[in-house]
Chains A and B, each alone.
Chain A
Amino acid sequence: GQSLEQPSEVTAVEGAIVQINCTYQTSGFYGLSWYQQHDGGAPTFLSYNALDGLEETGRFSSFLSRSDSYGYLLLQELQMKDSASYFCAVGNYGQNFVFGPGTRLSVLP
């Protein structure tokens, strides 16, 4: 089977840096992606890693270690609008995507 684990909640203050971890067990792994979802909205794509290492996109960075089946999303210079749920998702061969349970990030003033 396939499974992903993420912390259920994370809290940080404006301007801080926060890291959301994701561990996975899967077969046919192709890549790890991250999605942001605000309350009542749909998930939107943030970042993708197919190879080991760090990918940077503005204030957001994502890291992958295939040998450890582990990745993380790093959010810098936190803003109030970053308060949302964040999901890691494993992409498998055949364009099959399995989502983690999500991490709810609360940014405090």
Chain B
Amino acid sequence: EAEVAQSPRYKITEKSQAVAFWCDPISGHATLYWYRQILGQGPELLVQFQDESVVDDSQLPKDRFSAERLKGVDSTLKIQPAELGDSAMYLCASSSDSSLLFFGPGTRLTVL
């Protein structure tokens, strides 16, 4: 069964360092999402791609976060510099229609 792949699964970093997360969506899914989920809360959209184009990045803290999907397939989310408040689960998801999302296993980020 096709799955969304993410790496790393866990990342521990010190504040002010740079971190990067990678996501490979289900083959053929044009829409890719990065969500951030703080413990005990619902996922919050950071950025949405349609193929290689950004559709929505209104909630992305652009002073420190960047995301790209250069060839319209896999994607990278970067944080530089990381802050204590960035500790969260970073979830990548992909979709082929408007009814459901397929999530990857997530990257658990801890900023010390």
Q: Which residues of A contact B (CB under 8 A)?
A: 4, 30-31, 33, 35, 41-45, 48, 50, 87, 89, 91, 93-102
Q: Is there contact, CB below 8 Å, between B42 and A102?
A: yes
Residue on A nearest B99 in the bound complex, by CB? A48
Q: Which residues of B contact A (CB under 8 A)?
A: 31, 33, 35, 40-45, 48, 50, 55-56, 91, 95, 97-106
Q: Is there contact, CB below 8 Å, between A45 and B45?
A: no
**Interface majority SS (helix, strand, loop, mixed), chain A:** strand
With A48-B100, A96-B48, A100-B42 known, 7 other A-B pairs at CB within 8 A are: A4-B42, A30-B98, A33-B100, A35-B101, A43-B43, A43-B103, A45-B100
Residue on B nearest A88 in the bound complex, by CB? B42
Q: Is there contact, CB below 8 Å, between B45 and A96?
A: yes
Q: Is there contact, CB below 8 Å, between A87 and B43?
A: yes
What separation, in Å, do the CA atoms of A104 and B43 have in the docked complex?
14
Q: Is there contact, CB below 8 Å, between A93 and B98?
A: yes
Give the number of A-B contacts (CB < 8 Å).
59
Q: Is there contact, CB below 8 Å, between B103 and A87?
A: no
A92 smallest CB distance to B (angstroms): 8
Q: Is there contact, CB below 8 Å, between A97 and B101?
A: yes
Q: Is there contact, CB below 8 Å, between B42 and A33?
A: no
Residues of the A chain whose Cβ atoms lie less than 8 Å from the Cβ of B56: 94, 96
Q: Is there contact, CB below 8 Å, between B91 and A95?
A: no
Residues of the A chain whose Cβ atoms lie less than 8 Å from the Cβ of B41: 101-102
Contact of A42 among B48, B50, B55, B91 (CB under 8 A): B91
What separation, in Å, do the CA atoms of A100 and B97 have in the docked complex?
20
